[in-house]
Amino acid sequence: MSSFKRSVLMAVAGGAMGLSSQALAFVPWSNPAGSAVSFDWAGGGSDFGLFGSPVVAGDTFIFSPTMFRADSANGVAGQAHDRMQVDITAHQASNITGIRITEFGDYGIFGPSGPGGNEVSATGGLFVTNLDLFAVRSSTLATTPGSPIYSGTGNWTGTAQVGLANETPPWRHVRVVLNNNLIALSINGSVTFIEKKVTGAAVLVEFTPAPSAGMVLGMGGLILTRRRRR
């Protein structure tokens, strides 16, 4: 990688991290608190509002962001960054045994391909904090195709998962944080972009009452297991 490109990447990533750490603004969802079938939520929002507000259906948060996109043209780098946060409290009969994040998007690279030229990437991390014990578990977002992407057009997915089934005592009150970074780089005469899909559900947070109850689509699944009655 050229020193110029390395500098661009560091500047974009550094700027994103700086914005996140400063947290100068926080955009609440239109429904920042409420109650679902198996849990209550509070404090929902993100630093810059790029995730948008979720539609809550049963135990599922459904996000459809329309502005979460990075564009680059003629050597000018583009980036989009946001940090989503929400506090989850399981209802009395439930424990939190795992959280899985899945995201969907698309990308396009119009120009020469190969390392050192045009590229796009999606990176991020899932952080789960036990608000009773102040313990933290985390997972890095893994993408398919892997980032960076150097050519073509198509769809990408990203997943991250934190398992909590073996935690003692069980986790019931947590803060879920998702960091996302989209980066687009180009050379002269080229155009690139990467985004969360703007049609349908790009990001879902699905909460299920048992580990096997349903398939997780989108930005995640928080799995709850019913406690046995004594």
- Residues forming beta bridges with residue 70, ordered by sequence position: 194
**Distance between CA atoms of residues 115 and 104, nearest Å:** 24
173-185 and 69-73: which strand pairing?
A: unpaired
The C-alpha angle 30, 33, 35, rounded to 5 degrees, equals 125
The SS3 assignment for 19 reads helix
**Distance between CA atoms of residues 196 and 103, nearest Å:** 8
95 has pLDDT over 70? yes
Residue of 59, 63, 70 whose CA lies nearest to 8: 70
Domain that holds residue 198: 3-226
- DSSP letter assigned to residue 7: H
Average pLDDT, whole number, for the chain?
79
Percent of the chain with pLDDT over 70: 75
Amino acid at 47: D
Report the pLDDT averaged over residues 38-45. Answer: 92
**Distance between CA atoms of residues 206 and 216, nearest Å:** 6
Give how far Cα 57 sits from Cα of 19, 36, 229, Å.
32, 8, 27
pTM of the model: 0.79
Report the pLDDT averaged over residues 11-36. Answer: 66
**140-145: long-range contacts, CB 8 A cutoff, minimum separation 24:** 141/101, 141/103, 141/180
Contact between 185 and 192 under an 8 Å Cβ cutoff? The reply is: yes
Amino acid at 111: G
What confidence tens digit (pLDDT) does each residue in 102-155 have?
889 999 999 987 777 899 999 999 999 999 998 999 999 999 999 999 999 999
pLDDT band per the 50, 70, 90 thresholds, residue 56: confident
- Residue keyed to tokens 């036990």: 130
Split into its structural domains, the chain has a count of 1
Structure tokens, 96 = 């939190």
